[in-house]
Chain A
Amino acid sequence: MKKPARDQENKPLTLKEIGERNEPAANEVWQLRLYVAGQTPRSVAAFANLKKICEEHLPGRYDIEVVDLVKHPQLAAGDQILAIPTLVRKLPQPLRKIVGDLRDTERALVGLQIRSAATGE
């Protein structure tokens, strides 16, 4: 995998480069935010599933922030949260959202676009 250089960003991109840009770089730190509403079984399951995925595919370069909307309801509007639980990938860009308890690991990986980044497939 080749990381697109910063100074190339304002230049027209080739199709190959566009494809590369959409895939996160291998060494970037992932910023993830998990929105939950209280300690429901679903929230707990979602956190556990997320933790497992990250440990497996992004060892050492992820950062999970858990936001409990019951405690901070005003934060829901910021990331346009409707469904609970919702996982938001703040970094790397672009922003992605995955709703659900992340039970289906395959889909979660596709949603987070981790799979290609981690395995190079």
Chain B
Amino acid sequence: MPIIGIRTRQRAQEISKENRSLPKAPTGIQGLDEITAGGFPRGRPTLICGSAGAGKTLLAMEFLVRGATEYNEPGVFMAFEETAPELTQNVRSLGFDLDELTKEKKLVIDFVRIERSEIDETGDYDLEGLFIRLGAAIEAIGATRVVLDTIENLFAGLQNQGILRAELRRLFRWLKDKGVTAVITAERGEGALTRHGLEEYVSDCVILLDHRVTDQVSTRRLRIVKYRGTAHGTNEYPFLIDEDGFSVLPVTSLGLQHRVSDERISSGVPRLDTMLGGEGFYRGTTILVSGTAGTGKTSMAASFVDAACRRGERCLYFSFEESQGQLIRNMRSIGLNLEQWTKKKLLQFHSTRATFYGLEMHLAMIHKIVQDFQPRVVVLDPIGSLIQAGNRRDAHTMIIRLIDFLKQREVTAFLTNLTSGGEALERTDVEISSIVDTWLFMRDIELAGERNRALYVLKSRGMAHSNQLREFLLTPQGVDLLDVYVGPEGVLTGSSRLSQEAREEAAALARRQDAERRDRDRTRKREVLEARIAALRKEFELEEAEAENASAEEISREEMIARNREAMSRSRKGDMDKDGIVGGRPRGAR
């Protein structure tokens, strides 16, 4: 195991320190040590029951292998069902090399075969042979862990139940005296934990494994039925078995104690960042993008991922609808080259159909992958399809668990959700709107024979966000947001917006031309007026000149008359006044 194993171990040790009263043997199994508060009770037997195929043998085997490899506790596996080569082969796929461990004297596998047809019983007997075999195996490697898988097979091989039960009681007592931590597996019985009532003998710790199929989807669950002296988790915990072995999810042990960050991160769309108080999302929050089909939710997610990778952060993309290749190709059309990030190991895609596993399995998978990859950003696209893997309520709880888990690790979660037509738009299939921090809503606006995408921020906790609707454009250069046209005719987008803008431009031009024309008119009028004024003035001047001429003529005429009169009076020798004016100026006065 890489880092996780070590961390689990440290965690297990911390936990076991807290519970000094009851010493524990850590299982080394991811998650199991957390819900058992440190592991199985040390020096005591633990019963693991479950139906066929529930994973009993595997859990028991992993307990031994982890013990041998991680805690230096050798173990004995007493198999009543499978032979050593069979077991070795079965667990090889989980990366356990039993041959190697056997060679290193860390593990002994003892196959016990009981053939009813070969055995007859007469008189008293005991199971000392079994004790001796087990004792010898324990001695041989100094084992501190023992697995009996499945000891119930003895009930099929031996007739005398009275002796068998007494001997089993003695066996568990003997195991306790030996101080070994034992794991006993048992088949689940009808109406009882085990078919033969083994829980009667092993009463310190009982773990029930369940493999349920609901709606054709199987889910594995683990429950601690009983654990003396330990406050254990009582829930059913989902677990999974994969190439790294067993992992149990202590999912319900999450609280609301996560740290918060003031750091802001870009959404990858500059205009959206400005809508979100100018800086984008808060790190470690949960962002939901919901909207009807084809509104660009995935493109939005891809932009966000692209921006995160550009910052050098690791991203996980869980897709429940599209394959990695398809996503990469599709996002290339809007100018996002996601392939470069997968090559740089900054981005990982995980594409699975939601119906491929049960809900818990999805949760477990996501947990595991997140723990392995340690991303800063996780995208789930779309979460609504998880309903197909379970019912609505389960999906709801699962997503809440997941969000809590991601928040605890300060991972920014980006969820998309499809709102199907005919439903109330501002809601999500899984009713998680109340637990997300930022909710972007995308819708299409159908107008004038076309659909256009629009986006608005429905809510965004802790920041002053824009309340405006923006037109959402997918361009070959990426995602862009534009102001929508809001006018007397309502909200206009797309070509309506363009034509409205054109119309407005034309109207403005007309107005401008009108004003210019009026200006010109006025100028011309003024010119005409001034011309007229000039003409009048000219006329007046003419008249004035004429009038002057006339008066001058009058004077000269009067002078002439006077002269004539003088001349006349002179000629008549008439009296002359002193000045010679009346009756004419005498010629001699001059």
Using a CB–CB distance below 8 Å, which chain A residues touch chain B? Answer: 35, 37, 42, 45-46, 49, 69-70, 73-74, 76-77, 80-86, 95-104, 107-108, 110-111
Q: A111 near B125 (CB under 8 angstroms)?
A: no
Give chain B residues whose Cβ lies under 8 Å from the Cβ of A107: 120-122
Q: B129 near A37 (CB under 8 angstroms)?
A: yes
Give chain B residues whose Cβ lies under 8 Å from the Cβ of A46: 123
> Assuming the A-B contacts A37-B132, A73-B132, A73-B133, are A80 and B112 also in contact, with contact meaning beta carbons closer than 8 angstroms in the complex?
yes
Give chain A residues whose Cβ lies under 8 Å from the Cβ of B123: 45-46, 49, 100-104
List the A residue with the shortest CB-CB distance to B159.
A99
- How far in angstroms is the closest Cβ of chain B from A49? 8
* B122: contacting residue among A69, A76, A84, A108, CB under 8 A: A108
Using a CB–CB distance below 8 Å, which chain B residues touch chain A? Answer: 110, 112-115, 118-130, 132-133, 135-136, 154, 157-158
- How far in angstroms is the closest Cβ of chain B from A109? 9
Give chain A residues whose Cβ lies under 8 Å from the Cβ of B113: 80
> Assuming the A-B contacts A82-B114, A110-B120, are A74 and B136 also in contact, with contact meaning beta carbons closer than 8 angstroms in the complex?
yes
Q: A76 near B125 (CB under 8 angstroms)?
A: no
Q: A103 near B122 (CB under 8 angstroms)?
A: yes
Give chain B residues whose Cβ lies under 8 Å from the Cβ of A97: 118-120
List the B residue with the shortest CB-CB distance to A109.
B122
Q: A42 near B122 (CB under 8 angstroms)?
A: no
* A84: contacting residue among B112, B118, B119, B126, CB under 8 A: B126
CA distance in complex: A35, B114 (Å): 16
Interface of B is mostly: mixed
Give chain A residues whose Cβ lies under 8 Å from the Cβ of B158: 82-83, 99
> Assuming the A-B contacts A73-B135, A73-B136, A74-B136, are A84 and B120 also in contact, with contact meaning beta carbons closer than 8 angstroms in the complex?
no
- How far in angstroms is the closest Cβ of chain B from A54? 15
Give chain B residues whose Cβ lies under 8 Å from the Cβ of A102: 122-123
- How far in angstroms is the closest Cβ of chain B from A99? 5
Q: A82 near B122 (CB under 8 angstroms)?
A: no
**Counting chain B CB atoms within 10 Å of each CB, which of A35, A46, A77, A101 scores highest?**
A77
CA distance in complex: A87, B217 (Å): 51
- How far in angstroms is the closest Cβ of chain B from A39? 13
CA distance in complex: A103, B121 (Å): 10
> Assuming the A-B contacts A82-B112, A84-B126, A84-B129, are A96 and B121 also in contact, with contact meaning beta carbons closer than 8 angstroms in the complex?
no
> Assuming the A-B contacts A77-B133, A80-B112, are A69 and B128 also in contact, with contact meaning beta carbons closer than 8 angstroms in the complex?
yes
> Assuming the A-B contacts A77-B110, A96-B118, A99-B158, are A82 and B124 also in contact, with contact meaning beta carbons closer than 8 angstroms in the complex?
no
Give chain A residues whose Cβ lies under 8 Å from the Cβ of B126: 42, 83-84
CA distance in complex: A74, B112 (Å): 13
Give chain B residues whose Cβ lies under 8 Å from the Cβ of A99: 119-122, 125, 158
Give chain A residues whose Cβ lies under 8 Å from the Cβ of B157: 82
Give chain A residues whose Cβ lies under 8 Å from the Cβ of B136: 73-74, 76
> Assuming the A-B contacts A73-B135, A80-B113, are A100 and B125 also in contact, with contact meaning beta carbons closer than 8 angstroms in the complex?
yes
Give chain B residues whose Cβ lies under 8 Å from the Cβ of A37: 128-129, 132
List the A residue with the shortest CB-CB distance to B131.
A37
- How far in angstroms is the closest Cβ of chain B from A51? 15
Give chain A residues whose Cβ lies under 8 Å from the Cβ of B135: 73
- How far in angstroms is the closest Cβ of chain A from B281? 64
Additional 20 contacts, C-beta under 8 A, given A74-B136, A99-B158: A42-B124, A69-B132, A76-B129, A80-B112, A80-B113, A82-B114, A82-B133, A83-B130, A96-B118, A97-B118, A98-B119, A99-B121, A100-B121, A100-B122, A101-B123, A103-B123, A104-B123, A107-B120, A111-B120, A111-B122
Give chain A residues whose Cβ lies under 8 Å from the Cβ of B124: 42, 100-101, 103
- How far in angstroms is the closest Cβ of chain B from A74? 6
- How far in angstroms is the closest Cβ of chain B from A63? 20
List the A residue with the shortest CB-CB distance to B135.
A73
Give chain B residues whose Cβ lies under 8 Å from the Cβ of A69: 128-129, 132
CA distance in complex: A95, B132 (Å): 22
CA distance in complex: A100, B159 (Å): 11
**Counting chain A CB atoms within 10 Å of each CB, which of B114, B132, B154 scores highest?**
B132
Give chain A residues whose Cβ lies under 8 Å from the Cβ of B118: 95-97
Give chain A residues whose Cβ lies under 8 Å from the Cβ of B114: 80, 82
- How far in angstroms is the closest Cβ of chain B from A13? 20
Q: B110 near A104 (CB under 8 angstroms)?
A: no
Q: A101 near B129 (CB under 8 angstroms)?
A: no
* B129: contacting residue among A49, A82, A98, CB under 8 A: A82
List the B residue with the shortest CB-CB distance to A35.
B129
- How far in angstroms is the closest Cβ of chain A from B77? 14
Q: B133 near A42 (CB under 8 angstroms)?
A: no
Give chain B residues whose Cβ lies under 8 Å from the Cβ of A110: 120
- How far in angstroms is the closest Cβ of chain A from B536? 142
Q: B121 near A82 (CB under 8 angstroms)?
A: no
List the A residue with the shortest CB-CB distance to B113.
A80
> Assuming the A-B contacts A80-B112, A84-B127, A86-B125, are A96 and B120 also in contact, with contact meaning beta carbons closer than 8 angstroms in the complex?
yes
> Assuming the A-B contacts A77-B110, A80-B112, A82-B154, are A98 and B122 also in contact, with contact meaning beta carbons closer than 8 angstroms in the complex?
yes
List the B residue with the shortest CB-CB distance to A83.
B125
CA distance in complex: A70, B133 (Å): 10
- How far in angstroms is the closest Cβ of chain B from A118? 17
Q: B129 near A81 (CB under 8 angstroms)?
A: yes
CA distance in complex: A71, B306 (Å): 72
CA distance in complex: A29, B588 (Å): 212
> Assuming the A-B contacts A73-B136, A74-B136, A80-B114, are A86 and B122 also in contact, with contact meaning beta carbons closer than 8 angstroms in the complex?
no
Give chain A residues whose Cβ lies under 8 Å from the Cβ of B128: 37, 69, 83-84
Give chain B residues whose Cβ lies under 8 Å from the Cβ of A45: 123
* B125: contacting residue among A42, A70, A74, CB under 8 A: A42
Give chain A residues whose Cβ lies under 8 Å from the Cβ of B130: 82-83
CA distance in complex: A67, B126 (Å): 16
